[in-house]
Amino acid sequence: MEKRLFEVVLEKSVDGYFVYCPSLQGCYSQANTYEEALTNIRDAIRLHVEDRVAAGEALVETESISVTSLEVTV
């Protein structure tokens, strides 16, 4: 097994944390605490990657991920 680095995004709300991996579409989790959220997404990433490898799918290398704020009139 090789180690790989995956970026994750954590969003805090009144209900806890929502976390996802932008480079793996559909790979997300949630938890009550920050630490739980990281544990959960680590497991979700591992399972997601194992499934893709088993299906013969290639993992896409993400060049970079940016986060910014955008003002929108609503």
On whether the CB atoms of residues 6 and 24 are closer than 8 A, the answer is yes
Strand partners, 17: 12, 31
Q: Domain 1-74 carries which CATH code?
A: 3.30.160.250
- pLDDT tens digits, 11-62: 999 999 999 999 999 999 999 999 999 999 999 999 999 999 999 998 878 8
Please list the residues that pair with 16 across neighbouring strands: 13
d(CA 33, CA 41): 12
Give the pLDDT of residue 33: 97
Pairing assessment for the beta strands 16-20 and 28-31 based on DSSP bridges: antiparallel
Residue that has been written with the tokens 């995956």 in this structure: 6
